[in-house]
């Protein structure tokens, strides 16, 4: 009989750690907010310190338990650097970083975004690793060239635990991993002016392989015994898919989290002629087609902060206003940090439309929640279109937003479709813990949590009419956002 696995989920807003048993499932968990110092991105040093502290809290009451290993899943993309002395860079740039918006606009103008999509099935966006690297080379070349390793979040934490820099195919998929060769494409990097990044990208090992072992210093900080093996995990959306036991063609996993994501598994086929979304290469010769909107619960947090919702019951107050608000014409465009899927619009901005004299705080609150739900529907429709999937076999909604019953009901109405709700916060951790148990030759026997079935109600007609207005508004605004990118380009040219 095996012991326990420590599974860490390093998210954008929250770091979670779980002690997982193959027979009992999650038996203990701990969490901490991602340190926010008010600057763009995060401090890697503070991020690691917070992660080590969370792990320490997790294992302190189970110091006598046998730990079989550690495995990490986490947010993808962005740029987490290690310098030539083996120290973390001062800043880590995240998947939702906006600094490289103009880089993306320039690449798009030159046709390089479409060329990259045709080769890899991914539309690059400002927070993608290639764009952040190019921006750094444009603005702070010394900072970029001082880096010896360019990593993603989970790989950075693995490095902190073991001193070994590696990644896996799911995180390597964006931007330069070629599954046909199993290596990075120097040609693709050269095309984007990122030729110097390839030598800094980590070695690729399969998910489930042993990365290294916990060092003496990491053991001191985390409480995990020195020498404990650290197993390779996977990108968080992939781990959540594994944790939810989905994977058949036509299955849709929708994540209402910091970002609003819709995804489905397909065979290794062309993603289509129309550039949209991202492609993550999976271990079994399949791929995950992903539409990851830049809007999500982060947009809701922004609204709560500015609309006067405060205190421990601020979400309850917000949803009370939403539910009691009458239908109206208000529509919210939720793209406060640009948009990356289903369309690439790095200079997109948010907006309230349809406001009149009857508009009050409740109606605006309803519009905000609906705007995020509309982005989710747009993503689901796009991923189905991209994969030529005629119908949904199973639609599972998860993420922090899925724990709000009023939001789940709204999503069902927006989609005009029944859905299953799986609000467990441990899906990603369970997904990568399974890898470790499989590697140890142990089958996870614990029962999964129940999934609640939710159906659209008769009052959903008006919200779907507002979705049509939302879709029309997006099409009207796309050329406006594109023109803004061109204006910025012209201003920079004459500086």
Residue 23 pLDDT exceeds 90: no
Residues near 127 by beta carbon (within 8 Å), at least 6 away in sequence? 77, 78, 93, 94, 95, 96, 97, 98, 100, 340
Is pTM beyond 0.85 here? yes
Comparing 450 with 73, the larger pLDDT belongs to 73
Instruction: Give the per-residue pLDDT at 460.
Output: 82
Q: Is the pLDDT of residue 495 over 60?
A: no
Contacts for 128 with CB less than 8 Å, ≥ 6 apart? 77, 95, 122, 174, 175
Average pLDDT over residues 394-403: 90
pLDDT digits (tens, 9 = 90+) for 93-107: 999 999 999 999 999
pLDDT of residue 251: 81
Q: Does pLDDT of 494 surpass 60? A: no
Could you tell me the pLDDT band of residue 199, with boundaries at 50, 70 and 90?
very high
- Least confident window among 13-22, 60-69, 327-336, 453-462: 60-69
- pLDDT at residue 1, rounded to an integer: 42
301 exposure class (CB count in 10 Å sphere: 0-12, 13-18, 19+): middle
- Mean pLDDT, residues 369-391 taken together: 86
282-314 residue pLDDT tens:
888 888 999 989 888 989 999 999 999 999 999
Strands 67-74 and 166-167: unpaired
- Work out the pLDDT band at 391, boundaries 50, 70, 90: low
Percentage of residues in the chain having pLDDT higher than 70? 94
Residue 440 neighbours by CB under 8 Å, 6+ apart = 2, 68, 69
Highest mean pLDDT among 76-80, 450-454, 481-485: 76-80
> What is the average pLDDT value for the chain, to the nearest integer?
91
Distance CA(280)–CA(258), nearest Å, equals 19
Whether residue 411 has pLDDT greater than 60: yes
Q: Which two tokens stand for residue 301?
A: 């947090």
Residues in Cβ contact with 437 at an 8 Å cutoff, skipping those fewer than 6 apart: 2, 5, 22, 443, 444
Q: How many CB atoms lie within 10 A of CB 358?
A: 10
| Residues facing residue 10 across a β-bridge | 15, 74
**Chain centre to alpha carbon of residue 489:** 29
The pLDDT, as a whole number, for residue 447 is: 65
**Per-residue model confidence (pLDDT) at position 274:** 79
pLDDT (mean) for 203-225: 96
Residue 249, beta-bridge partner list: none
* pLDDT band at residue 386 under the 50/70/90 scheme: confident
All structural domains of the chain, each given as residue ranges with its CATH number in brackets, are 4-95+140-238 (3.30.420.40), 246-421+457-495 (3.30.420.40)
Name 32's Cβ contacts closer than 8 Å, sequence gap at least 6.
Answer: 14, 15, 50, 51, 53, 54
Lowest-confidence segment of 161-170, 235-244, 281-290 by average pLDDT? 281-290
| 40 pLDDT tier (thresholds 50, 70, 90) | confident
Q: Are 254 and 291 in contact, with CB atoms under 8 Å apart?
A: no
Q: Could you tell me if 291 and 384 are in contact, meaning their C-beta atoms sit under 8 angstroms apart?
A: no
Query: Could you report the per-residue pLDDT of 116-160, keeping only the tens digit for each?
Result: 999 999 999 999 999 999 999 999 999 999 999 999 999 999 999
Length of the chain: 495
pLDDT band for position 388 (cuts 50, 70, 90):
confident
Name which of 63-67, 199-203, 341-345, 350-354 the model is least confident about: 63-67
Give the mean pLDDT of 350-356: 96
């Amino acid at each position: 009989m095996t012991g326990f696995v420590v599974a860490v989920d390093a998210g954008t807003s929250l770091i979670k750690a779980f002690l997982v048993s193959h027979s009992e499932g999650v038996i203990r968990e701990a969490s901490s907010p991602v340190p926010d110092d008010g600057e763009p991105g995060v401090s890697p040093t503070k991020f690691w310190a917070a992660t080590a502290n969370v792990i320490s809290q997790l294992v302190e009451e189970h110091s006598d338990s046998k730990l079989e290993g550690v495995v990490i899943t986490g947010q993808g993309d962005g740029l987490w650097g290690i310098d030539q002395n083996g120290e973390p860079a001062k800043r880590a740039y995240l998947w939702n970083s906006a600094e490289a918006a103009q880089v993306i606009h320039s690449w798009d103008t030159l046709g390089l975004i479409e060329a990259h999509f045709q080769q890899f099935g991914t539309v690059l966006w400002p927070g993608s690793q290639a764009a952040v690297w190019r921006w750094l080379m444009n603005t702070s070349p010394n900072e970029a060239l001082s880096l010896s390793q360019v990593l993603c979040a989970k790989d950075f934490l693995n490095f902190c635990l073991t001193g070994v820099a590696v990644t896996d195919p799911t995180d390597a998929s964006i931007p330069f991993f070629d599954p046909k060769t199993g290596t990075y494409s120097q040609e693709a990097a050269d095309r984007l002016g990122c030729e110097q990044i390839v030598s800094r990208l980590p070695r690729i090992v399969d998910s489930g392989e042993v990365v290294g072992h916990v060092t003496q210093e990491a053991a001191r900080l985390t409480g995990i015994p020195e020498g404990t093996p650290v197993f390779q995990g996977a990108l968080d959306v992939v781990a959540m898919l594994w944790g939810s036991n989905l994977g058949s063609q036509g299955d849709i996993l929708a994540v209402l989290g910091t970002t609003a994501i819709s995804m489905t598994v397909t065979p290794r086929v062309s993603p289509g002629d129309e550039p949209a979304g991202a492609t993550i290469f999976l271990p079994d010769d399949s791929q995950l087609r992903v539409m990851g909107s830049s809007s999500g619960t982060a947009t809701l947090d922004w609204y709560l902060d500015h609309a006067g919702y405060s205190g421990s019951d601020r979400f309850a107050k917000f949803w009370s206003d939403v539910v009691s608000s009458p239908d109206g014409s208000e529509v919210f465009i939720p793209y406060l940090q640009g948009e990356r899927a289903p369309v690439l619009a790095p200079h997109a901005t948010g907006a309230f439309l349809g406001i009149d004299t009857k508009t009050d705080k409740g109606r605006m609150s309803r519009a905000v929640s609906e705007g995020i739900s509309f982005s989710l529907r747009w993503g689901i429709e796009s991923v189905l279109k991209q994969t030529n999937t005629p119908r949904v076999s199973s639609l599972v909604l998860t993420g922090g937003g899925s724990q709000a019953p009023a939001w789940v009901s709204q999503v069902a109405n927006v989609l005009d479709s029944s859905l299953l709700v799986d609000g467990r916060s441990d899906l990603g951790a369970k997904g990568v813990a399974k890898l470790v148990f499989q590697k140890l030759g142990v089958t996870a026997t614990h029962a999964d949590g129940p999934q609640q079935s939710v159906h659209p109600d008769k009052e959903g007609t008006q919200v779907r009419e507002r979705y049509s207005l939302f879709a029309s508004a997006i099409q009207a605004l796309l050329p406006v956002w594109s023109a803004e990118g061109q204006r910025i380009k012209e201003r920079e040219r004459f500086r």
